Amino acid sequence: MDIQTQFFTYGEKDSDKLKLHDGSLFGPITLAYETYGQLNEQKSNAILIFHALSGSQHVSGYNPYIESVGEKWTDECKTGWWNEFVGPNKLIDTDKFYVICVNYFGGCYGSTGPSSINPTSNSPYGGEFPKFSFGDIVDSQIPLFNYLGIKQFNSVIGSSLGGMMALNFSSRYPEKVRKIITIACGLRAPILTKTHNLEQIYAIENDTNFNSGNYYKSKKPNKGLTLARMISHKTFVSLKYMKSRMKDKCEQKDEDFSWYKIKTSLESYLLYQGNKFSNRFDANTYIYLIAAWSNFDLKKDHNVNEDYEIFLNCNDHEYLIFSIDSDCCFYPEEQLELNDALIKAGINSKYIKVTSEKGHDSFLLEPELYYNEIKEIIEK
């Protein structure tokens, strides 16, 4: 059965607008979201999933089309990005749980973002869209949860960038969740991540079509976005997995290079990944999100001196923290740092390091590595 994205709009009145981290107000806001399963009468079986950097609200099943997204909703997007994890009789069993995932504020898959129409100018926001933080993204979803009548989630789950959202949510709204599961994330953006993110932002901004983010009525900065994705892709998969995905041929389009010619399957693979991504994602959304990622530091968000102080109001929580041994986007040391902070705060936390040859993207590809532990905690 096909899945349909739903939409929730709020903030038409000044009193309902979203207050951003800089104190400014923004609205109206539309959030694109999908739900799976049925919310029980007690509204106690809800599970919230925060998606990763380039993910969407479409977690499971098949969604053939989202009108407001148009050509960006490519074939790659139509099957849920966690289809093997979520559904009837799957790891997160939608015969038992009500699962919700929301496309982020600032996103490009139906939620209000830079490509959305500014009602004041009747043109896309473009570079005039406000800069936002991960906290702003989390705050933007609270009115939706209130509308659905969900006072407390059974569990909140996030991987990669979504894991940082889950930590922000659980530490700032401790009363709204009982169990928190994170995969391959950390308490802050490390130096290497900030370096990679700056390289990507520079690549996009220096595409001649970027035009300070105001490109929606002309050519898109696809070359800049392609290069940005090539920079990041090598941190998302292990070198061994990358090698296994290469084909024994070299392909390039005439417009890719004027002088250089692709000579190896590695180069062809990276170029293919970059071009494929630029066809399905928005450059503004990408740089807004990675800029917010670079600025993420949960200790600063809470204005505390020590990491454990972040979680002093989370006494009733239970955490499950996953590392991936081959991850070079979020190294296992970052999850150990998180686990140590939780234990020092007196929080019930379990740390697991999985063994995988696939690198950071293991959380998308290998449900069997996470099955038993996740099933145990969410079904307690």
Q: Are strands 153-159 and 46-50 parallel, antiparallel or unpaired?
A: parallel
Q: Which residues of 171-189 are buried (b: 16+ CB within 10 A; e: fewer)?
A: bbbbebbbbbbbbbbbbbb
Angle between helices 222-236 and 265-280 (to 10 degrees): 120
Rounded Cα gap, residues 132 and 149, in angstroms: 26
Torsion angle defined by CA atoms of residues 346, 349, 350 and 353, in that order, rounded to the nearest 10 degrees: -100
360 in catalytic set? yes
For the four alpha carbons of 160, 331, 186 and 153, in that order, the dihedral sign comes to positive
Q: Which of 296, 59, 316 is nearest to 168 (CA)?
A: 296
Neighbours of 194 (CB within 10 A): 16
For residue 360, the number of C-alpha atoms closer than 13 Å in the C-beta half-sphere is: 21
Q: Give me the catalytic one of 133, 160, 232, 268.
A: 160
Alpha-helical segments (H) within 304-351 = 332-344
Long-range contacts of 145-148 (CB under 8 A, 24+ apart): 145/48, 145/176, 147/8, 147/10, 148/39, 148/43, 148/46, 148/100
Q: Which of 105, 95, 100 is nearest to 153 (CA)?
A: 100
Q: Which of 274, 271, 276 is nearest to 247 (CA)?
A: 271
Q: Give me the catalytic one of 327, 349, 361, 362.
A: 327
Q: Give me the catalytic one of 51, 360, 361, 362.
A: 360
Rounded Cα gap, residues 122 and 117, in angstroms: 6
Rounded Cα gap, residues 172 and 135, in angstroms: 9
CA distances from 333 to 137, 211, 320, 325 (A): 26, 39, 15, 10
233 in catalytic set? no
Q: 3-class SS at 204?
A: helix
340 in catalytic set? no
Where in the sequence numbering do the catalytic residues fall?
160, 327, 360
